[in-house]
Structure 1
Amino acid sequence: MRLFRLAKILSIASRFGIDEMILEHEPTGRLAALWRSVHFWRRFDSPRAVRLRLALEALGPIFVKFGQVLSTRRDLLPLDIADELAKLQDRVPPFSAEVALAEIEAAYGRPASEVFAEFDATPVASASVAQVHLARLRPEDGGHEVAVKILRPNMLSVIEHDLALLETLAGLLEKLWADGKRLKPREVVAEFAKYLHDELDLMREAANCSQLRRNFTGSTLLLVPEVYWDHCTTTVMVMERMRGIPISQIDALVATGIDLKSLSRAGVEIFFTQVFRDGFFHADMHPGNIFVATEGENRGKYIALDFGIVGTLNDDDKDYLAQNFLAFFRRDYKRVAMAHVEAGWAPADTRIDEFEAAIRAVCEPIFDRPLREISFGRVLLRLFQTSRRFNVEIQPQLVMLQKTLLNVEGLGRQLDPDLDLWTTAKPFLERWMKNQVGWRAFVRAAQQEAPGWARTLPQLPRLVHRALVREPGADIALVLADLAVTQRRQNRLLFVVAALLLALLAFQYF
């Protein structure tokens, strides 16, 4: 089956001339000329960008998602290819209205006409995994205008085949390439597979949407649709209809008077809020999933859509990342190098001074320059070369964060090429770090730990008695003396805990 899928990929690449496009980048040009002479019968009427998009669509959802990410990297791709790949964001060929209605009936056990008061059989958006139709709930269900997301049928088998092929290629890469083991390609593929499988369960996506909406309740920057749980299944998701202009339609945003510079700064703040405040972030932030509200009290706010892929970070990840970001912003490259070693990402015997010098050589040139003058492609390449030299291990759990950072950069570049990413992000990270290590952090930690203290402290005498029973030869007098000291400490600690709880109550209510 894997060989069949590989043969199909090669066949599609040949049909659309992707092989020739790749060989065109060979420095001498001789290999491309030879390849064209061998395949003399092939003639292509469509431009290369159109052929690349059609090839990705023919290859299936994994490759479509790859094209979506590439479409945001206008600094790395020719403009004709970036513009054409942008069509993958919400204009993948839809499945038929008959199939959509059949999927709804299969999900609810009754036809769409009995579930919705109105249902538009023509989709408003069609993506790699699902497509969206507009509808209205029946009056007894509130009569709300809704968006109905329907999973593409038979998606699981297609994705399983592609993942199996990727796993095989990752295994070969690990064995044949010198950097294979350090880059952990099989773990990266496994992480990607987990997120893809999550995306095939629309109940999980609905839960992600609900969580993000709760995190940004009352936000002045971001809107998230409400989920109508009574109408959600694993293959159909129903949510509030949102009105706005796609973030990629820059001219339309300007025509409505939206301040693009403010919008770009707000996007950076939203991203860092999700990552560092919540540890829960939208990990599929390509332009097809981001709109801007242009009417009423929500004017100028971002609208987030499509919550199939989210990322999570634990407290250690957030602390590590924040330290590194702040160190980069402050040009403290020694702190960056030390953080890598302390986290175990680089070997313990790494020469800090040499690692510091290498990081400085990569990062120093990019500071104090607007985004439009920075080639992040070259920066990433040099960072990769540096990490290879110092045997830095790739962290699979942060793959989604890295992908999202690329999306955020692409959006920022489209909205405001002069955006100073560093100046925009630094104050937010500094505030976050103060909250993590200052008095507020102590109060928050005490609130979290107080219930555990209250449960554990009264158990100390029983735990000591259990230790005496298990060790009959122990010096009873010594143990009793230790117990008396422990009891006095316990009393003092209980007093401190009580005082602290009172202080917390006062802090909350006054």
Structure 2
Amino acid sequence: MTKSSISRGYQVLKTALQYGLDDLIPSNVAPWYLKLLRHSLFWIRNQHKDKPAGERLKLALQQLGPIYIKLGQMLSTRRDLLNDEWAMQLAMLQDKVPSFDGKLARQEIETALQAPIESLFDNFDEQPLASASIAQVHSANLKSTGADVVLKVLRPNIEAQIHADLQLMKKLANIVDSLLGSDNRLRAPEVIADYRHTILGELDLNKEAANAIKLKQNFADSEALYIPAVYQDLCSQRLMVMERIYGIPVSDIDALNAQGTDLKLLAERGVQVFFTQVFRDNFFHADMHPGNIFVSTEQPDNPQYIGLDCGIMGSLTKEDQRYLAENFLAFFNRDYQRIAQLYIESGWVTDSTDKYAFEQAIKQVCEPMFNKPLSEISFGLLLLELFKTAREFEIVVQPQLVLLEKTLLYIEGLGRQLYPQLDLWQTAKPFLEQWMDEQIGVKHMFNQIKQQLPSWADKIPELPELVYDNLKLGKSLLTQQQKLLDKYLIHQRKLHKSNFLLITSAILLICGTILFNQQVTLSGACACIILGAAVWLMGWRSRPKNRTL
């Protein structure tokens, strides 16, 4: 372990003790080394005894910095693992990070470009436009065309810091897992493994650039969503260059109202964009918080979203897509039995689950939703309640579904902020019904045939020859099988004859032995024994020599 790792470990430990996180582990189950630490670091005491546990955890993560804040934000969506109080506190974490020096940013950019900034860009501004936990953004003009662009560059040495923190998190997760026992639902090592995959993906700006290009292609000519163009030839692992956009932050309701934005249409389009990404494209933006979404100023009566930061993208398996769509529709139709069955079929709960009890638990969560107007039904809250039910029935929530749930909460929250009367179902249900029809209906069957036609057309000219070759092969196989069958029957006849003679000889020998022992007639006994021996010899010699076919 390096000196920096030891220093970071001490800082994390000190922060945990200052916020009393060690008190969350009862003394009767605390291991000896934790008790030893408590006594060894006696000068570090809980300074926040008046605050509840969830708030103390939030403040501790906030003090530890961006990487731990992001971990807390991810955990806040895991209502299947955490209780409400903890999840609500973690959801309040704000990732506000001071910017780093613009001259240092210039050096990092020139290292990534392997050229002076002035050779490719004009008007580079060392004052950043925005700063986040992993990267910050600077404006410039492309020298070749004069186009307005932004340069997103990773923070210096951020990789080393993240890897050190992840290594420490992994060790802490293993300790927590051993303390809680093998049957705990938190599964801390798995949570950290999921987080590791997500955070490391954000360290590669080449990957983010590829994601943005793919998402832009998916929504080419869309009136609902615009993705800025990416200058891929200028991108690298630590630098991303893209078109600069001008829009209104989606959370700035006053500015949107001032320009006369159709907020109802904007809210509905948010829902449509979400379901299109999930079900049509199976490639969805999984970090759509307000800081990553703007609204174009060009057509307020026909508003268009502008999406940024494609570092975290999600996708589902075809099975999860279908089960999710059926779950949504079953909920709308109040078919709780079908919801329970879908959870079991999808493998989200085990076959041993009490299906009736599970159905009743789902009904208890969902039914109150129908006592309200449809416009007041919160899809996001419904998912959170279902995730709480997951704790009771030990549902294994897949990481991709957690990303989906987080994204849906963002979208629904934005939609209701923009237009509180948003009717999520009226917007989503037709899309889902159409998608289901395309997946399992007549339209799906027609599309499958349509897709296979070019392949079939290529094979049709070869069909007569293929049929002839197959018939010829079939005839050859039948001939071989007939020969094998004939050999088998001959073998069985010989074996049957041999077995008959051997059994007869055994009977004669037994009879001769009995007569001989009883001394009834020695000549008859000897005759039986001699005859039996002769028959046995005949039977043995008549046995098939080769026992295999």
- Name the TM-score, length of structure 2 as normaliser: 0.71
Q: Secondary structure at the match of 1:331?
A: coil
Amino acid at match of 2:244: R
Q: How does 1:393-432 map to 2 (within 5 A)?
A: 393-432=396-435
Is 1:117–2:117 an aligned residue pair? Answer: no
1:100 corresponds in structure 2 to 105
Query: Deviations 1:7-45 (Å, cap 9, x if unpaired)?
Result: 322434566x6869999xxxxxxxxxxxxxx989969xx
Q: Structure 1 residues 172 and 467 mapped into 2: Cα distance closer, same or farther (>3 Å)? A: farther
Conserved? CA contact 2:287–2:407, under 8 Å: yes
Match of 1:278 among 274, 281, 288: 281
Conserved? CA contact 2:208–2:310, under 8 Å: yes
1:249 corresponds in structure 2 to 252
| Partners of 1:211 and 1:84 in 2: CA distance | 32
Q: Structure 1 residues 426 and 470 mapped into 2: Cα distance closer, same or farther (>3 Å)? A: same
Conserved? CA contact 1:72–1:407, under 8 Å: no
| Partners of 2:446 and 2:150 in 1: CA distance | 42
Amino acid at match of 1:284: D
TM-fit CA distance, 1:57: 5.7
TM-fit CA distance, 1:135: 0.9
> Which consecutive residues of structure 2, in runs of 5 or more, have no partner in the other structure?
26-42, 49-54, 79-83, 486-549
TM-fit CA distance, 1:366: 2.0
| Partners of 1:384 and 1:439 in 2: CA distance | 34
Q: How does 1:201-280 map to 2 (within 5 A)?
A: 201-280=204-283
Task: Give percent identity, aligned residues only.
Answer: 47
Amino acid at match of 1:337: A
Q: Which moved further from structure 2: 202-211 or 402-411?
A: 402-411
Is 1:171–2:178 an aligned residue pair? Answer: no
1:133 corresponds in structure 2 to 138
2:358 corresponds in structure 1 to 355
Conserved? CA contact 2:148–2:244, under 8 Å: yes
Amino acid at match of 2:66: P
| Partners of 2:357 and 2:59 in 1: CA distance | 47
| Partners of 1:284 and 1:51 in 2: CA distance | 26
Match of 1:154 among 132, 154, 157: 157
Query: Deviations 1:375-426 (Å, cap 9, x if unpaired)?
Result: 8897566534532333322223323212212222332343233333333322
Q: Which moved further from structure 2: 362-371 or 193-202?
A: 362-371
1:484 corresponds in structure 2 to none
1:474 corresponds in structure 2 to 481
> Which consecutive residues of structure 1, in runs of 5 or more, have no partner in the other structure?
24-37, 44-49, 479-510
Amino acid at match of 1:118: N
| Partners of 1:329 and 1:7 in 2: CA distance | 52
Q: Secondary structure at the match of 1:212?
A: helix
| Partners of 1:418 and 1:77 in 2: CA distance | 28
1:442 corresponds in structure 2 to 445
Conserved? CA contact 2:135–2:154, under 8 Å: yes
| Partners of 1:340 and 1:392 in 2: CA distance | 9
Instruction: Pick 1 or 2: higher relative contact order, CA cutoff 8 A, min separation 6.
Output: 1
Q: Structure 1 residues 171 and 433 mapped into 2: Cα distance closer, same or farther (>3 Å)? A: same
Amino acid at match of 1:105: E
Amino acid at match of 2:364: A
Amino acid at match of 1:441: H
1:315 corresponds in structure 2 to 318
Amino acid at match of 1:474: Q
Q: Which moved further from structure 2: 282-291 or 245-254?
A: 245-254
Query: Deviations 1:54-98 (Å, cap 9, x if unpaired)?
Result: 86565233223346669999xx899x9899855x3xx52111111
Q: Structure 1 residues 155 and 474 mapped into 2: Cα distance closer, same or farther (>3 Å)? A: farther
Amino acid at match of 2:340: A
TM-fit CA distance, 1:279: 0.1
| Partners of 1:463 and 1:364 in 2: CA distance | 60
Conserved? CA contact 1:135–1:145, under 8 Å: yes
| Partners of 1:269 and 1:387 in 2: CA distance | 28
Q: Structure 1 residues 366 and 348 mapped into 2: Cα distance closer, same or farther (>3 Å)? A: same
Number of aligned residue pairs: give it: 451
1:33 corresponds in structure 2 to none
| Partners of 1:55 and 1:466 in 2: CA distance | 74
| Partners of 2:59 and 2:188 in 1: CA distance | 27
TM-fit CA distance, 1:463: 7.3
Amino acid at match of 2:304: K
Q: Secondary structure at the match of 2:68?
A: helix
| Partners of 1:436 and 1:41 in 2: CA distance | 57
| Partners of 2:107 and 2:364 in 1: CA distance | 59
Amino acid at match of 1:197: L
| Partners of 1:125 and 1:285 in 2: CA distance | 17
- Name the TM-score, length of structure 1 as normaliser: 0.76
Q: Which moved further from structure 2: 307-316 or 384-393?
A: 384-393
Q: Structure 1 residues 55 and 187 mapped into 2: Cα distance closer, same or farther (>3 Å)? A: closer
Match of 2:203 among 200, 209, 213: 200
Query: Deviations 1:297-342 (Å, cap 9, x if unpaired)?
Result: 8952111000111011232221111111111121111111111111
Q: Structure 1 residues 425 and 373 mapped into 2: Cα distance closer, same or farther (>3 Å)? A: closer
Q: How does 1:17-96 map to 2 (within 5 A)?
A: 56=61, 58-66=63-71, 85-86=93-94, 88=95, 91-96=96-101
Query: Deviations 1:442-488 (Å, cap 9, x if unpaired)?
Result: 2322233445556778567667878999999434899xxxxxxxxxx
Provide the alpha-carbon RMSD of the alignment: 4.1
Conserved? CA contact 2:262–2:301, under 8 Å: no
Conserved? CA contact 1:179–1:388, under 8 Å: no
Q: Structure 1 residues 465 and 159 mapped into 2: Cα distance closer, same or farther (>3 Å)? A: farther
| Partners of 1:167 and 1:472 in 2: CA distance | 65
| Partners of 2:357 and 2:169 in 1: CA distance | 36
Q: Secondary structure at the match of 1:245?
A: strand
